[in-house]
Amino acid sequence: MAALRWQRRKDERAPAILRAALACFAESGFAATRMEDIATRAGITKGTVYLYFDSKAALFQALARQAIGARLGEIAKGLESFEGSSEELLRMVLSTLGHIARTSDGVVLPKIMLAEVGQFPELAEFWRREIIDRGLALFESIIRRGIARGEFRNMPPQHAARLCVAPFLIVAFWRTVFSRFDETPYDYQGLIDAHIETLLRGLKADAPPAHQKAR
């Protein structure tokens, strides 16, 4: 029984370290945070932190994968088996990512990355490769699916994909930078809903002329 309790504590340490790292990065920034600070916040020794993560960069990468990367992977796996319309698929993906943007503590990560990019360009390189490129590829595949099926108008998928993502960046930065100045809490869900409806209207293929419908 003692061995089981030890294993349970061991398994719980990595999530606790990640929570502590996120809190420290959010409060002090990436550069100013020390591994000792993270260990103290997590209630463990610095040596224990290094058993799980060999650097602050590794912690940042794990947080990004946990907050966003894992969900992108789950969504991508389900694309091939999705049998509904491309509109339904895009609505589902946008709603899922919108929920993350408005509720996850991980939205502070883009702010941290941008604030530290001059000193730590590897953070931006990682974010571009693991988050941005994967997210854009996901949306581009949905847009191409819709175009091929005649559901979406023919437009450059790379531009449409960036239009899909843009409002989530607004939500992330508003929550982490500007929300403290709001007299009343901003309606993030309302923004996401308006984005989805506006985007889908813009993507919808034009109806065929009346004489073609009659054939």
Answer for the pair 18, 58: CB distance below 8 angstroms, yes or no: no
Same domain, yes or no, for 89 and 31?
Answer: no
Given a cut of 70, is residue 5 above it in pLDDT? no
Same domain, yes or no, for 115 and 198?
Answer: yes
CA-CA-CA-CA dihedral for 117, 122, 128, 131, to nearest 10: -100
Task: Name the residue type at position 72.
Answer: L
What mean pLDDT is predicted for residues 115-131? Answer: 94
Is the entire prediction scored with pTM above 0.75? Answer: yes
Of the pLDDT bands very low, low, confident and very high (cuts 50, 70, 90), residue 8 is very low
pLDDT tens by residue, 30-76:
999 999 999 999 999 999 999 999 999 999 999 999 989 988 988 88
CATH number of residue 107's parent domain: 1.10.357.10
Q: Three-class SS of residue 152?
A: strand
- Max alpha carbon distance in the chain (Å)? 78
pLDDT tens by residue, 142-197:
999 999 999 999 999 999 999 999 999 999 999 999 999 999 999 999 999 999 99
Q: What is the domain extent for residue 124?
A: 56-205
Of the pLDDT bands very low, low, confident and very high (cuts 50, 70, 90), residue 9 is low
For the chain, what is the domain count? 2
CATH number of residue 42's parent domain: 1.10.10.60
Residue 3: predicted pLDDT: 42
Q: Is residue 142 part of a domain?
A: yes
What's the CA gap between 46 and 37, in Å, rounded?
Answer: 8
